[in-house]
Amino acid sequence: MRRAALAAGAFAGLAACSPAAQVAAPAPTPAPAPANPPAGMQYLYGSGEAAALSVQVWQALAAYVSDRVKARPANSVVLADGASLATPSFAPCGTKPYAAIFDVDETVVLNIGFEFHDARTGRGWNAADWDAWEKTGEGAVAAVPGAAEGVARLRGMGVTVIFNTNRAVANAEATARAIRAAGLGEAVHGETLYLAGDDGQGNRKDGRRATIAAKYCVLAQGGDQLGDFSDLFNATGQSVPARRALTVGTPVSTLWGRGWFVLPNPVYGTALRGGFDDVFPMDKRWDLPADGGKN
Amino acid sequence: MRRAALAAGAFAGLAACSPAAQVAAPAPTPAPAPANPPAGMQYLYGSGEAAALSVQVWQALAAYVSDRVKARPANSVVLADGASLATPSFAPCGTKPYAAIFDVDETVVLNIGFEFHDARTGRGWNAADWDAWEKTGEGAVAAVPGAAEGVARLRGMGVTVIFNTNRAVANAEATARAIRAAGLGEAVHGETLYLAGDDGQGNRKDGRRATIAAKYCVLAQGGDQLGDFSDLFNATGQSVPARRALTVGTPVSTLWGRGWFVLPNPVYGTALRGGFDDVFPMDKRWDLPADGGKN
């Protein structure tokens, strides 16, 4: 995902570095460079655990799609217009050709260069730097482990790979170059690449998904954010625990790993929210026993 | 996993709070409670993204095992004695009954109560508090999303579920109670529960895996750390990028999602290591272009 609407990270308090702001005020003083990258970046960009997990998702996805193409399903894995998470229904497949829909950032592409800049300079995420990254970052991306092999396998099965990202429509060509540079093949705006600004719905992706599902039988969706599957997960005013509860033991939770495939991202986005009362249920708290647990 | 050998977190510099240390020195002054839990805890314990990802792993695992029990495989997914990651070979199945092996902490059980204590008090991880948690934490754990349903499905297929954890053998009964309290059923020490101290190999799990594979045809392994699959991932002196490279495009990487199943854990463990040069390859760095990317 792209983070324009979600800059809730540690540096969100820094002034946005737009040209106008640079004229009106001194540039923000960067924090001193930390000794190590944040834990989330160590995990996602550095660890064998996250690499293995990403390969796992892509291998499971390709195996799932391989099974699905053997017998045409009745429905796409895109929710139908008017469906809810409680009573899901899905866009019909008819005789449409097969496709799979993927977010770009931290789903097929690792934004290694930008996150280095973010962490090392202490500037953090800001809209101006991210826009420059979209325009010029193609040399400093890598494929998510397993993604290049995964999309190649899908194409080999006759499944059209479509990218649905919240990168800006103004940067469509540069984003296609970044996708190509990561070894993920060609993306053509309006055909296999959809971006924020393609319609009047901003960062919401349901409209673009409906456009795609009108033309294709969508066998799989992949993303690192719940909004990569349905905007319904991001209802305004919803608490952190209520949002989590939508994903477990519900009518849509059967889709995880069976049509909807989540990639790990503890670096940024809608997952990094919540205070202690949101994250730790009151009935699951613990403190040292008075005897230190010696009994 | 249990973290005795891996306490490389933000609070690792605090004195260990053993009884001896408490006598010899004043108790460490806890840091002030932070406003929010660390990002990794927000992700793992609070987000819909991590819950969905965990459900996905467990659903994919159960589907994979369901396929495997239909035709007896020749080999377990436990590496044979003397195998390497470059030239893997596997323990034979013969006519042995089916089993699956799982780590406990952050694989089948979320240690919500302990992590609350860790983050809220600023005491962080230390061996004494963790030992007390093993002994008394059973009321403040939860199942990893999808794990209770997953292990129940495996048992329904006739697959014995075996837990192989680095919790201490001295706390075997309490760990069995925690597993039961999380809704994961019964674990019997020496039969379906193996712990650190069962053999002379400390936190290394290969010996315990070999003991299990001598009695069972192991169809799947699950864990949040690479050491939950093979100790060979944790060779001494290995760099962070070299360790990551073992997991992608190698002879064992085909196992991710097909026998070996990784659960997300950006909170603690072997994944949270590395400086900037470990995490960000030199050829994937980026900084703002001189013109701010306007071209």
Residue A31 has pLDDT above 80, yes or no: no
Residue A256 has pLDDT above 50, yes or no: yes
**Sheet containing strand B160-168, strands side by side:** B193-196, B160-168, B98-102, B217-223, B260-262
When pLDDT is averaged across residues A58-78 and rounded to a whole number, the result is 97
**Bridge pairing between strands A160-168 and A75-79:** unpaired
pLDDT of res. B129:
96
A294 band by pLDDT with thresholds 50, 70 and 90 = low
Measured between alpha carbons, how far is B53 from B67 in angstroms, rounded to an integer?
A: 21
Residue A52 has pLDDT above 50, yes or no: yes
Per-residue pLDDT tens for A134-158?
999 999 999 999 999 999 999 999 9
Axis-axis angle for helices B127-136, B112-121 (nearest 10): 140
- Nearest by CB to A244, which of B46, B56, B285? B46
Residue type, B66: S
Measured between alpha carbons, how far is A49 from A61 in angstroms, rounded to an integer?
A: 18
Measured between alpha carbons, how far is B286 from B189 in angstroms, rounded to an integer?
A: 52
Residue A17 has pLDDT above 60, yes or no: no
Within a domain: residue A261? yes
Q: What is the mean pLDDT of each run of 10 residues along chain B (295 residues)?
A: 42 31 46 86 98 98 97 97 97 98 98 97 92 98 98 98 98 98 98 97 97 98 98 96 98 98 98 98 94 63
> What residue numbers bound the domain in which B251 lies?
75-109+144-291
Q: Which of A235, A191, A187 is nearest to A211 (CA)?
A: A191
Provide CB contacts within 8 A for A87, sequence distance 6+: A251
> How many angstroms separate the CA of residue B190 from the nearest CA in chain A?
23
Within a domain: residue A131? no
pLDDT of res. B33:
72
pLDDT of res. B45:
98
Q: Give the ipTM.
A: 0.91
User: What are residue A196's phi and psi, to 5 degrees?
Assistant: -65, 130
Axis-axis angle for helices A127-136, A112-121 (nearest 10): 140
Residues 95-114 of A with CB under 8 A from B: 112-114
pLDDT of res. B273:
97
Residues 152-171 of B with CB under 8 A from A: none
Within a domain: residue B181? yes
CATH of the domain at B275: 3.40.50.1000
- Put simply, whether A235 touches B (Cβ < 8 Å) is no
Within a domain: residue B35? no
Within a domain: residue A37? no
Best probe of the A interface among B1, B47, B55, by most A CBs < 10 A, is B47
Q: HSE-up of B294 (CA within 13 Å, CB side)?
A: 5
Within a domain: residue A186? yes
Measured between alpha carbons, how far is B94 from A130 in angstroms, rounded to an integer?
A: 56
pLDDT of res. B294:
60
- Put simply, whether B236 touches A (Cβ < 8 Å) is no
Per-residue pLDDT tens for A78-131?
999 999 999 999 999 999 999 999 999 999 999 999 999 999 998 888 999 999
Within a domain: residue B213? yes
Average pLDDT over chain A reads 90
A12 band by pLDDT with thresholds 50, 70 and 90 = very low
- How many independent structural domains does chain A possess? 1
Q: Residue B128 corresponds to which tokens in the numbers above?
A: 């004494």
Inter-CA distances, A126 with A7, A8, B239, Å: 7, 10, 32
Provide CB contacts within 8 A for A131, sequence distance 6+: A168, A171, B293
Query: Are the CB atoms for B106 and B271 separated by under 8 Å?
Result: no
Within a domain: residue B11? no
